[in-house]
């Protein structure tokens, strides 16, 4: 699967890098669409997906007991906050959309930024989008197939439909996408409040037996604790989403750090309290055996209204998919703007001021990724790359403290926090590879660096025949999608 994927992407992506470097900025019309509330909803709504409702048992499995499990959920929230604070400094220092991409451009140069965009645009973002929509489709279709699993063709078609709907929403309007995100974030917070409220009532009734001797059976293996953290931090993934749309924040210097300080601790509190609620109803053995923990909780506590849990899981996954699409399109746009993807991807719709080509490209790739049956294997093997880039972003912050002292830093964190983030990221990258070394990790690494094969002729040398091929294609796509280059501000 990995080898076939590697060959497919080399062929498919050769068409994407035939471009000329263009340094343009998004129109001011798009930079005023996202306020503080929408920013918080984007962070919270993207972080809280299906994981906390379906399968929080991985942290318990590797931690070994209730006490360390709750401590690890809390510690993961603290680590996510530290990482997000690093991104707050980077985002207010370099106010460009595209997440880590502009930070790598500034700190390490074009090649590192290109390899990041190559990996993230071609694999991490669209495959994540596909996985979330597949989860949405499975839970949305299950009620129509009582007693059995929905047919695979049904879930894949429903996931493809969800991708089309979400992509269309984001192409139509930044505000509409923000309203959708706000609504579904509110919906998932409602079900969390229901679960937490039920847990508090049960605790008040004396359901505390699972918390006695909470540290008995705690895992002592350094590797097991590391895997518990790895799974917990995976559930927190999404804390950097606001940095992908920095240019579209109304007041990035105020809203970016505030949204981070409010949003991530809110998610941390939700995760810990939801796990406490689970343990009031289920023993550790029952929780580990449950295929969907929140559904089991609902069947035991909320009956006959237990149907609301799978309904709100559907809401949660749809909102998370919308947030993923919203931010992924901005990375594709930023990469196209810098000449690392085809020029058409840096264009915006002349009427709606959305990066429609970039959003459509991400959606098309996501639909391709729902076709294979083992997409989860693909994203698992590439997940180490995500933490490599997180660590590299923290390192970029440290590097620019020395190389770019002239840059204004409205938010300035102690550099030791960035150092901690670098060390944690190194551990999370190396731990799964050392613990279970597999050849697929080598294939993924080869794919990441294979981007250099396209970088040299089409980005560095800017070969003339490539530009001649792309010129008529760009013109026809521009007319078809009614898009134009953004305003130049230089």
Contact call for residues 92 and 256 (beta carbons, < 8 A)? yes
Residues in the chain: 490
**Distance between CA atoms of residues 376 and 381, nearest Å:** 9
Nearest residue to 426 via CA among 437, 418, 438, 436: 418
What pLDDT does residue 375 have? 57
Nearest residue to 185 via CA among 49, 309, 64: 49
Q: At residue 476, what are phi and psi to the nearest 5 degrees?
A: -70, -40
What pLDDT does residue 142 have? 80
Nearest residue to 16 via CA among 329, 345, 326: 345
What pLDDT does residue 4 have? 45
Q: What is the pLDDT along the chain (490 residues), one digit of tens a residue?
A: 444 444 434 434 443 443 333 333 333 333 446 788 888 988 998 888 877 876 688 889 888 889 999 999 999 999 999 999 999 999 999 988 888 999 999 999 999 999 999 999 998 889 888 888 988 888 888 888 877 778 889 989 999 999 999 999 999 988 899 899 889 989 888 989 999 999 999 999 988 888 888 888 777 677 678 778 877 887 888 888 888 888 888 888 888 899 998 999 999 999 999 999 999 999 888 888 887 788 888 888 988 888 888 888 889 889 989 988 988 888 888 888 888 888 888 898 888 888 899 999 999 999 998 887 555 566 666 677 888 899 999 999 999 999 999 999 998 999 999 999 999 889 888 877 887 787 878 888 888 899 999 898 888 888 888 788 888 888 888 888 889 887 643 3
What pLDDT does residue 9 have? 46
What pLDDT does residue 33 have? 62
What pLDDT does residue 379 have? 60
Three-class SS of the chain:
CHHHHHHHHHHHHHCCCCCCCCCCCCCHHHCCCECHHHHHHHHHHHHCCCHHHHCCHHHHHHHCCHHHHHHHHHHHHHHHHHHHHHHHHHHHHCCCCCCCHHHHHHHCCHHHHHHHHHHHHHHHHHHHHHHHHHHHHHHHHHHHCCCCCCCHHHHHHHHHHHHHHHHHHHHHCHHHHHHHHHHHHHHHHHHHHHHHHHHHHHHHCCCCHHHCCCCCCCCCCHHHHHHHHHHHHHHCCCCCHHHHHHHHECCHHHHHHHHHHHHHHHHHHHHHHHHHHHHHHCCHHHHHHCCCHHHHHHHHHCCCCCCHHHHHHHHHHHHHHHHHHHHHHHHHHHHHHCCCCCHHHHCEECCCCCCHHHHHHHHHHHHHHCCCCCHHHHHHHHHHHHHHHHHHHHHHHHHHHHHCCCCCCCCCCCHHHHHHHHHHHHHHHHHHHHHCCCHHHHHHHHHHHHHHHHHHHHHHCCCHHHHHHHHHHHHHHHHHHCEECCCCCC
Token representation of residue 246? 């920095």
Strands 483-484 and 348-349 come out as antiparallel
**Distance between CA atoms of residues 224 and 289, nearest Å:** 19
The torsion of the CA quartet 66, 69, 73, 79, rounded to 10 degrees, works out to 140
Contact call for residues 397 and 86 (beta carbons, < 8 A)? yes
């Amino acid at each position: 699967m990995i080898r076939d994927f590697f060959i497919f992407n080399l062929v498919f992506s050769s068409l994407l890098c035939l471009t000329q470097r263009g340094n343009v900025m998004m129109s001011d019309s798009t930079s005023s669409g996202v306020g503080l509330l929408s920013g918080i909803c984007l962070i919270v709504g993207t972080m809280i997906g299906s994981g906390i409702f379906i399968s929080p048992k991985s942290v318990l499995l590797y931690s070994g007991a209730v006490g360390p499990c709750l401590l690890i959920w809390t510690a993961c929230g603290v680590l996510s906050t530290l990482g997000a604070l690093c991104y707050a400094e980077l985002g207010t220092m370099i106010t460009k959309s595209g997440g880590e991409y502009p930070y790598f451009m500034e700190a390490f140069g074009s090649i590192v930024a290109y390899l990041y965009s190559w990996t993230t645009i071609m694999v991490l973002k669209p495959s994540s989008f596909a996985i979330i929509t597949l989860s949405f489709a499975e839970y949305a279709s299950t009620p129509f197939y009582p007693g059995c699993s929905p047919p695979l063709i049904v879930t894949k078609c429903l996931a493809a439909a969800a991708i089309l709907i979400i992509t269309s929403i984001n192409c139509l309007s930044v505000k509409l996408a923000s309203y959708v995100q706000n609504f579904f974030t509110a919906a998932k917070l409602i079900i969390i409040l229901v679960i937490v409220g039920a847990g508090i009532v049960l605790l008040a009734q004396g359901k505390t037996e699972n918390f006695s001797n909470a540290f008995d059976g705690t895992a002592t293996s350094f590797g097991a604790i590391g895997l518990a953290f790895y799974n917990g931090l995976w559930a927190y993934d999404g804390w950097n989403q606001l940095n992908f749309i920095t240019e579209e924040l109304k007041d990035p210097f105020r809203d970016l750090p505030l949204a981070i300080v409010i949003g991530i601790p809110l998610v941390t509190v939700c995760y810990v309290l939801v796990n406490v609620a689970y343990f009031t109803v289920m023993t550790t053995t029952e929780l580990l055996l449950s295929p969907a923990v929140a559904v089991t909780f609902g069947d035991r506590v909320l009956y006959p209204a237990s149907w609301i849990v799978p309904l709100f899981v559907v809401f949660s996954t749809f909102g998370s998919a919308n947030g993923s699409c919203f931010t992924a399109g901005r990375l594709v746009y930023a990469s196209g703007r810098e000449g690392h993807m085809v020029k058409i991807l840096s264009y915006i719709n002349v009427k709606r001021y959305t990066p429609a080509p970039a959003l459509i490209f991400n959606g098309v790739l996501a639909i391709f990724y729902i076709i294979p049956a083992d997409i989860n294997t693909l994203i698992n093997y590439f997940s180490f790359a995500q933490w490599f880039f997180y660590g590299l972003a923290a390192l970029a912050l440290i590097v620019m403290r020395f190389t770019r002292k002239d840059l204004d830093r409205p938010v300035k964190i102690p550099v030791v926090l960035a150092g901690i983030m670098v060390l944690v990221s190194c551990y999370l990258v190396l731990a799964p590879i050392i613990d279970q070394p597999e050849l697929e990790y080598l294939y993924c690494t080869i794919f990441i660096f294979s981007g250099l094969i396209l970088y040299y002729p089409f980005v560095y040398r800017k070969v003339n025949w490539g530009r001649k091929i792309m010129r008529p294609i760009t013109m026809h796509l521009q007319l078809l999608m009614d898009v134009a280059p953004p305003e130049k501000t230089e």
